[in-house]
Amino acid sequence: MTPEFFITRHNAMVDPFLRVWSWEIPVYLFLGGWVAGMMILTGFTLATGRHRERPCAASALPGVGLVLLSLGMLALFLDLEHKRFVWRLYTTFQPSSPMSWGAWILIAVYPVLVGSWLVRPPALAADLSASVERASLWLQARASLVRAVGAASIGLGAALGIYTGVLLSSLGARPLWSSGLLGPLFLASGLSTAAAFAHLVARHTGERESMARLDNLALSLELAILSLLMLGLLAGSAAQADGARLFLGGAFTAPFWVFVVLVGIVIPLIVQSLAVAHRIQHTPVAPVLVLTGGLAMRFVFVYAGQASHWAHGVWASLP
């Protein structure tokens, strides 16, 4: 039984003329990318020892990541057609299957998130559980192990973020998804949403500013990759060009340009650039817009991808 056996509720991935509008897959991709970005940020603070310098927002990210990843896994489970057989994904590993890679990456992520959380668990958790406090003290006393956890967090976070895009690009029935840039795009978006969340919850002014700078970098990279993706599709086959035109005058033009580009990237980039330049105060508006845009991007790409197919010219007939 191959891993692809479990996707069949999204028969739009098999039948190029069947569209299934569901919320589970976009939500799963968004939460997975968000957690991936959190893992990269946390891993960097652990690997460099910055988690010891002062109250660090990244210390809260592993616990939040555990919750968000579990919710994402629940959304994915709800979307599966053959739920009773999901355990069979973990009886084999198939290197040529993106789903097989993703299933094992998701399992490997959990212990790394727990290890990252134990480095600096919330005071309440340490107070309520003596075992948590002992495990935390034991881990903190081993700097090399903390750095190893940080390195694993960065590596697995990058793998998880890229996988959320590769999962779509590996489905050849959809010309809009037929691009190797989806993986880097979703990774950049995940890093952006993680930096935005850290900016939102950070208490220290300097950390808020550093997270805003990182978010600006990720947003700029995301905008550049989106531009290259559109240019690549337009320069590709007729079906790929038609897929790109779903965003350039087609059915998904308004959602893409308003919610993904304007709300999710351009406005936060302007606001945070002004805040970093000390022309305005740091505001939670920009991080909230980044999170909203990240979610919108997954919905837009999943829905538009299901509307694109290799029958040239059909995009123009969509309502």
Higher pLDDT, 16 or 131: 131
CATH for 3-317, options being 1.20.1630.10, 3.40.50.10490, 2.30.40.10, 3.30.1050.10:
1.20.1630.10
Higher pLDDT, 103 or 11: 103
Residue 164 and residue 182: Cα distance in Å, rounded?
Answer: 8
pLDDT given at position 173: 74
- Quick one: how far is CA 61 from the chain centroid? 14
pLDDT band at 3; cut points 50, 70, 90: low
pLDDT given at position 219: 97
Model pTM greater than 0.85?
yes
pLDDT band at 312; cut points 50, 70, 90: low
pLDDT band at 17; cut points 50, 70, 90: very low
pLDDT given at position 126: 60
Residue 280 and residue 197: Cα distance in Å, rounded?
Answer: 19
All structural domains of the chain with their residue ranges: 3-317
Residue 214 and residue 227: Cα distance in Å, rounded?
Answer: 20
The stretch 109-133 carries a mean pLDDT of 82
Output the six-digit token pair for 284.
């939670």
The stretch 249-261 carries a mean pLDDT of 95
Answer yes or no: is pLDDT of 184 > 80. yes
Answer yes or no: is pLDDT of 6 > 60. no
- 99 φ/ψ angles, rounded to the nearest 5 degrees: -65, -40
Q: How far apart are the first and last CA of the chain?
A: 39
Sign of CA dihedral 86, 90, 91, 93: positive
pLDDT band at 14; cut points 50, 70, 90: very low
Of 294, 241, 274, residue with least CA distance to 27: 294
pLDDT given at position 170: 80
Reported in sequence order, the residue ranges of 182-271 that DSSP labels E, i.e. its strands, are none
- Tokens 């919320």 sit on residue: 23
Sign of CA dihedral 318, 261, 194, 184: positive
Phi-psi region of 49 (alpha: psi -120 to 50; beta: other; left: phi over 0): left
Average pLDDT, the chain: 86
40-54, 282-296, 300-314 — which is least confidently predicted? 300-314
Residue 133 and residue 195: Cα distance in Å, rounded?
Answer: 28
217-234 burial by CB neighbour count: b if 16+ within 10 A, else e? ebbebbbebbeebbeebe
pLDDT band at 198; cut points 50, 70, 90: very high
66-84 pLDDT, tens digit each: 999 999 999 988 887 777 7
